[in-house]
Structure 1
Amino acid sequence: MRRPIHRRTTRASAAAAAATGSTSTIFAGAMRYELKIVEYSRTKAVPNGCSMKYPAFTAAGHTWHVGYFPNGVIGAEEAEADYVAFFLYLNDNDAAEEAVKAQAIFSLLDIEGNPVSSYTFTTVLVNFSEKKYWVTRTSSRGNLWRIHCISRTIASASG
């Protein structure tokens, strides 16, 4: 698995930035985590179904990471590599004490860092204690972006 090309989170406290080398801010359980993929064309060499796992981050008291599949994922109806996929994973091993619910917004950002509305997708609120795996697509075959999101990496993350 390749290392990510660049990772940056935004709006952080100085303490978080000093501890992790990144910046982030959490507002009422919400956090912005920004990935900048430099030299995107080079990531297309990653085989279909293989991901680039980005470093973990903390939001709402839980540890998460983002998986980036530059050539899509492998599945019965998804053997083609004409789209990118992003997964959000809950990493916590101690999440069994309470329900872990999450909602994510995935956006392609323009050159100024603003979300492009036609490439922005908000997931439903997902309860990780009920769903081991959740996926959705935002566009039809042939378009650049399909957003896949919210997945749980441990079977014991529960309610």
Structure 2
Amino acid sequence: MAEQCKISAAIVAGSDERSCVVKVDGYSRAKALLKKGKFVISAPFSVGGHNWAVRYYPNGVREGYADFISLYLQLESADAKVVNAKFTFTILDKNGEPVPSYSRTSSMRTFSTKSSDWGYQDLIKRADLEASVHLRDDCLTIRCDVTVTKEIHGEQETRVPPGDLHQHLADLLKNKDAADLTFQVGAQRFSAHRCVLAARSSVFKAELLGAMKESSRSLIEISGMEPDVFESLLHYIYTDSVPPVLEMARNKGETDMVMAGHLLVAADRYNIVRLKQICEEKLCTHMDFNMVATSLALAEQHGFHALKEACLQFLSSPSNFKAMMASDGYDHLKSSCPSVIKELIARILPAEWSVAKDVVMEI
């Protein structure tokens, strides 16, 4: 039985032809006030000529699932005798993009007056959700995609659901099924699959399938990289999605920008082009005077041209340039890349700026 929702954890549904977005505001209050088996239900939405709604159980639908969030799709059309449909529940990130590792897709289900709902008792473990970056400002957002089949001259016309290869590969990495490689990165070990890495990176392909010594070894040591950076690298290789560390960057600030820089170097090391572009774009769009010196040194040392140009443009402001000189990264930039400071002064800073003259004297 649905409990009257008089708290801020109301569900808001917005729909188009095939999907709705379920938004739970006040996640913590819903969890505290709605006990096991209690739910809130979305406003109805229409797909395939039928009305549907989503039921959200913050403490599980029944005994044995109290540590999980349960979610069910319910057929609301009372006059519908039999409706065949598939559905997908997907957690959305802060940008409204699907999180592949938190997605569940059903097989074809038959909804009727006798069996009007289908769903997942164990959609996501609450502890995993609460430790992730996808619960923001005490708000949880879930998308429900529904595909209804129709009978046409005795044959079913089915809309093909979106591909889920990324989910299968993410599960392969998580469960370590048939893993044939182990990487030692600092004090941590990571299991992986030789063929997946070789398919995604030309460098891994040469190392693991070529004549290099790594091709015959099952334990490979990775030097010059932190474990959390390598873990994010594997996440991208298997899922083709933005690693969580980059999703957190806007809220966490400088620490995650440093991580974005490390991941950029890792992507360059293994020639994973799209990840390089993602990391470089992240650093370019989150520029500040605390990080610009570090980013500029990184760009100069590794040949990241877009990042270098963004840094030079940012430093064309006198106030930004002066603030950069007081940052922790300035001494490293001055000692490791003195030529780039001279280039900055020559290209951007007017000769009459006293700060520019002081810098020239220091180099």
TM above 0.5, yes or no, is: yes
Tell me which of 103, 112, 125 is aligned to 2:95: 112
TM-score scaled by length of structure 2: 0.31
Q: 1:89/1:142 Cα in 2 relative to 1: closer, same or farther (>3 Å)?
A: closer
| Structure with more strand by fraction | 1
State whether structure 2 residue 53 is matched by structure 1 residue 65: yes
Q: 1:63/1:141 Cα in 2 relative to 1: closer, same or farther (>3 Å)?
A: closer
Report what 1:41 is aligned to.
28
Verify the 8 A CA contact 2:86 2:106 in the aligned structure 1. yes
State whether structure 2 residue 76 is matched by structure 1 residue 86: no
Whole-Å Cα distance in 1 between the matches of residues 23 and 67 of structure 2? 20
> C-alpha root-mean-square deviation of aligned residues, in Å?
2.7
Is the partner of 1:93 in helix, strand or coil?
A: coil
Verify the 8 A CA contact 2:102 2:124 in the aligned structure 1. no
Q: 1:50/1:138 Cα in 2 relative to 1: closer, same or farther (>3 Å)?
A: closer
Using CA pairs below 8 Å that are at least 6 residues apart, which structure has the higher relative contact order?
1
- List alignment gaps of at least 5 residues for structure 1: 10-23, 150-159
Whole-Å Cα distance in 2 between the matches of residues 7 and 51 of structure 1? 14
Displacement after TM superposition at 1:125 (Å): 0.9
TM-score scaled by length of structure 1: 0.66
Report what 1:50 is aligned to.
38
Count of aligned positions: 123
Verify the 8 A CA contact 1:56 1:64 in the aligned structure 2. yes
Verify the 8 A CA contact 1:82 1:144 in the aligned structure 2. no
- List alignment gaps of at least 5 residues for structure 2: 130-143, 145-363
Displacement after TM superposition at 1:2 (Å): 3.2
Report what 1:21 is aligned to.
none
Displacement after TM superposition at 1:139 (Å): 6.7
Report what 2:105 is aligned to.
122
Q: 1:135/1:33 Cα in 2 relative to 1: closer, same or farther (>3 Å)?
A: closer
Verify the 8 A CA contact 1:121 1:138 in the aligned structure 2. no
State whether structure 2 residue 16 is matched by structure 1 residue 25: yes
Q: Percent identity?
A: 33
Displacement after TM superposition at 1:106 (Å): 0.2
